[in-house]
Amino acid sequence: MISRGGNASWYGNITDRYYNAFWALAPDDFRRKIGEHRRGKLEKRLVVDNIDRWLLRRAVTYFGLRQYHVLHPMIMNILLMPIWKAHLPAELEAAHLAFRSFVDEPLDLEAAGITLDGSRECVAVKFQFNYWNFASEQKNTDFVRRLVDVLSKRYTVLLLQLASPVDNHESPLMEGNRWVVDCRTMPTVDNLRVQTALLRRAKYSVTTLGGFSMLSAFVGRPNYSFYSGAYNDGHFEMAHLLFKQLNPGGWQILDSTRFDITSLP
């Protein structure tokens, strides 16, 4: 498996071989290279491009492979595009899908610079700006600040933010009090591995309505996904099917412009 961010546990049900793209390319260089090469193209991958081939050659050398087959995300994207773009029922593709919880991977959080005192329950918070659901606007940054402040009165809040983004999603960087754990200390090369471990520790997660919110289903935790006034529902059919199978009732979609933050459990 070739991926990035140390997320081998995501694929632990299908392979015990993992190659981290950040081993070949530093995170900042990865983001720049991806941005330059794929600018203006579909975010969902429909072809094997030069970056894929470049990483594949390095992974093949790393594992010492002589023969291999390539299973590329384009296969999944082509299969599911009718649901994402044409809003067809997810059940039409259900026969091709098999959702499984992630393999539990022990992790020394202190080695990642994160110390939890254990005196409070934790909740995980991660917000990313995007054009469709949560634009980079002051009102949305203010909402996240209020949310963190309210939650920190009852929980230890794990801010799953990075010092600098590694993809095309910017995040509002939050500061906090003694009950807010700033996770920017995590090594970027293993950021997804650390974030997955922290999601397991959390009572629930609060995120932007988007791809990251789906991770909670795979680790058996509830998720509260926020959008700001309006949203794009292209992935909702699949997301509902995912939570229905792995964590029934564990997904709530909420409007940040109307929701009372203090009513979160």
pLDDT band at 125 (very low <50, low <70, confident <90, very high): very high
Q: What is the pLDDT of residues 234-264, one digit of tens each?
A: 677 788 889 999 999 999 999 999 999 999 9
Q: How sure is the predictor about 167, in pLDDT bands with cuts at 50, 70 and 90?
A: low
Q: Which long-range contacts (CB under 8 A, 24 or more apart) does 178-181 make?
A: 179/120, 179/152, 179/153, 179/155, 180/148, 180/152, 180/156, 181/114, 181/115, 181/116, 181/156, 181/157
Residue 157: what pLDDT? 95
Banded pLDDT at 39 (limits 50, 70, 90): low
Element (H, E) at 253: strand 251-255
Domains of the chain: 2-96 (no CATH), 109-263 (3.40.50.2000)
With a threshold of 0.75, does the pTM exceed it? yes
pLDDT digits (tens, 9 = 90+) for 89-122: 777 777 788 899 999 988 999 888 898 888 899 9
Look up residue 85 and give its two tokens.
């773009």
pLDDT in tens, 177-229: 789 998 888 888 999 999 999 999 999 999 999 889 999 999 999 999 999 98
Tens of pLDDT along 45-82?
A: 778 888 899 999 999 999 999 999 999 988 888 888 87
